[in-house]
């Protein structure tokens, strides 16, 4: 007896199981994941804001969008900032993106594609540590809403949607500077419409001015506020620092890393786009297809190309940064997916199931190996030691904000030492003198290699190691006290 497998129904069932599994995993990670990446960076500055301080003043360096910090400061009003509350803040934006993608896909592509889109997003979100708090997620969320407003304009031709698109993109931009690419995609789409003579030049100018007015309405009050308190320091932190940022990696290595990440995370999405099986529709049916689908495809494709080029020429790549690309590639790939014949789709569905399962399992292994190996418990042990041995009010210097944050101490950092590999900005010649104003130092193995032998010798000549923790997040942690 020959067993027939309906790949469409199986993919839907598999997607539903993945959605439930990913959500359960994320809830588990909220309470068991260590603080990673920029989470302590945002938390330290959020707590300073609650004390009445302003970003970009004094030592409050911040090279991310200010709203990422201010949102966490808002969270701190209702809950103490710790592992769970910070991760819950990240999960909040993660869920909003999931819901938005689901409804966009359902409206334009149907319920089945919405379920598959949700499963793809959640798997990629697990791979990108979507539960942690990072600026890319709110940036992607508001950028996606800006795209949705612009799509409504393309449908209804009402200028108020253009203004709303600009306003939402401005919010995205103030969470992360790369929100600018959402505007850039709309600008090039309008340029394309003018080139194809679907829009006049006058309308091109008018539409872009309306979007820019929406951006300015939101941005001007914030610009005025920061220029009043910080003058040019705001631009130095937000723009100049990022333009001057240089790493020790060669462009060849970074490009190789980019290709590997692109192939691993988005390979199956590009298979759906580039493989061209026979379409479901006849030529007449294709002509009747809603024009809005073509416009969405073009807009999302323009954005994807811009982001891919940005990552390709960028000097440093991180998985969470790619989420801005994923939230657009997912519905874009589903548009292509929905056009194919069922016979042609069988092999694609099987590949999609294998890809999703592979990424999910590899991500689970990576999370378990790198971050669930008692790293959170070890962070709690360091926190307990600091609160017991280091007096309140001490100046505790660390390149990494995590440990001063855990102990609740002031970190007298200089903003340049937050990225100690940025030699083009500050060679750190006066680091030894800087340590005269510090009571304690917390070093990790990763940070020490950037300081140089001269600076390390100075630190060890003025400070004594009082405690060492081994294998904390794949590195050692040393706590040093100023010698009497």
CB 320 within 8 A of CB 134: yes
Instruction: Establish if 122 belongs to a structural domain.
Output: no
Note the pLDDT tens digit of each residue in 329-354.
788 777 777 766 556 667 767 777 77
| Residue 18, φ and ψ in degrees, nearest 5 | -65, -40
Q: What is the pLDDT of residue 285?
A: 43
What's the pLDDT score for residue 240?
76
Higher pLDDT, 150 or 369: 150
Residue 458 belongs to some domain of the structure: yes
202 versus 373: which is more confidently predicted? 202
Of 18-27, 56-65, 429-438, where does the model show the most confidence? 18-27
pLDDT in tens, 76-134: 999 889 889 999 999 999 999 999 999 988 888 888 888 988 988 888 888 777 678 98
419 in any annotated domain:
yes
Instruction: Tell whether 451 is covered by a domain.
Output: yes
Q: Answer whether residue 434 is part of any domain.
A: yes
pLDDT of residue 299: 87
Instruction: Work out the average pLDDT over 418-434.
Output: 56
Number of domains in the chain: 1
Q: Tell whether the model's pLDDT for residue 286 goes beyond 50.
A: no
Per-residue pLDDT, 235: 83
3-state secondary structure of 254: helix
Q: Identify the pLDDT of residue 423.
A: 43
Q: What pLDDT was estimated at residue 387?
A: 87
**pLDDT tens track for 192-215:** 888 888 888 888 899 999 999 999
Q: Mean pLDDT over residues 174-180, rounded?
A: 91
pLDDT at 251: 47
Average pLDDT of the chain is 79
Q: Is position 180 within any domain?
A: no
- Kindly state whether residue 200 falls inside one of the protein's structural domains: no
Number of continuous H segments (helices) and E segments (strands) in the chain: 21, 4
Alpha helices in 275-413 (DSSP H): 283-288, 291-313, 323-337, 342-370, 375-389, 402-407
Percentage of residues in the chain having pLDDT higher than 70: 77
* pLDDT in the model for residue 473: 60
- Domain limits at 469? 376-482
Lowest mean pLDDT among 21-30, 50-59, 223-232, 351-360: 351-360
Whether 271 is in a domain gets the answer: no
Task: Report yes or no: 353 and 325 within 8 Å, Cβ to Cβ.
Answer: no
Token couple for 127: 């791979």
């Amino acid at each position: 007896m020959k067993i027939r497998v309906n790949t469409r129904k199986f993919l839907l069932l598999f997607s539903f199981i993945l959605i439930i599994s990913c959500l359960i995993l994320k809830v588990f990670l909220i309470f068991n994941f260590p603080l990673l990446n920029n989470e302590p960076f945002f938390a330290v500055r959020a707590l300073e804001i609650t004390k009445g301080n302003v970003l970009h003043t004094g030592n409050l360096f911040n090279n991310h969008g200010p709203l990422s910090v201010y949102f966490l400061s808002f969270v701190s009003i209702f809950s103490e900032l710790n592992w769970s509350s910070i991760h819950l803040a990240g999960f909040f934006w993660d869920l909003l993106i999931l819901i938005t993608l689901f409804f966009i896909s359902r409206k334009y592509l149907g319920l089945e594609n919405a379920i598959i889109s949700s499963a793809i997003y959640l798997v990629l979100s697990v791979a990108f540590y979507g539960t942690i708090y990072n600026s890319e997620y709110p940036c992607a969320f508001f950028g996606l809403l800006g795209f949705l407003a612009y799509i409504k304009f393309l449908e209804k031709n009402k200028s108020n949607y253009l203004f709303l698109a600009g306003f939402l993109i401005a919010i995205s931009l103030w969470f992360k500077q790369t929100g600018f690419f959402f505007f850039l995609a709309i600008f090039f789409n309008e340029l394309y419409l003018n080139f194809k003579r679907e829009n006049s030049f006058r309308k091109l100018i008018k539409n872009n001015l309306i979007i820019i007015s929406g951006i300015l309405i939101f941005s001007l009050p914030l610009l005025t506020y920061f220029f009043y308190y910080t003058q040019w320091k705001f631009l130095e932190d937000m723009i100049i620092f990022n333009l001057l940022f240089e790493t020790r990696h060669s462009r060849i290595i970074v490009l190789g890393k980019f290709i590997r990440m692109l192939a691993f995370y988005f390979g199956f999405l590009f298979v759906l786009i580039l493989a061209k099986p026979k379409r479901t529709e006849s030529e007449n049916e294709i002509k009747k297809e809603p024009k809005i689908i073509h416009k969405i495809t073009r807009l999302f494709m323009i954005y994807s190309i811009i982001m891919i080029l940005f990552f390709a020429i960028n000097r440093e790549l991180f998985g969470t940064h790619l989420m801005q690309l994923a939230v657009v590639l997912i519905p874009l790939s589903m548009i292509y997916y929905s056009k194919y014949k069922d016979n042609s789709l069988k092999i694609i569905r099987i590949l999609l199931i294998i890809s999703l399962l592979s990424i999910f399992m590899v991500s689970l292994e990576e999370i378990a190996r790198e971050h669930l190996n008692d790293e959170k418990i070890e962070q709690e042990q360091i926190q307990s030691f600091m609160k017991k041995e280091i007096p309140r009010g001490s100046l505790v210097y660390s390149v990494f904000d995590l440990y001063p944050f855990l102990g609740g101490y002031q970190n007298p950092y200089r903003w340049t030492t937050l990225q100690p590999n940025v030699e083009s900005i500050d060679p750190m010649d006066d680091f030894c003198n800087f340590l005269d104003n510090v009571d304690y130092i917390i070093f990790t193995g990763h940070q020490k290699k950037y300081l140089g032998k001269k600076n390390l010798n100075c630190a060890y000549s003025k400070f004594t190691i009082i405690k060492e923790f081994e294998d904390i997040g794949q590195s050692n942690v040393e706590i040093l006290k100023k010698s009497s």
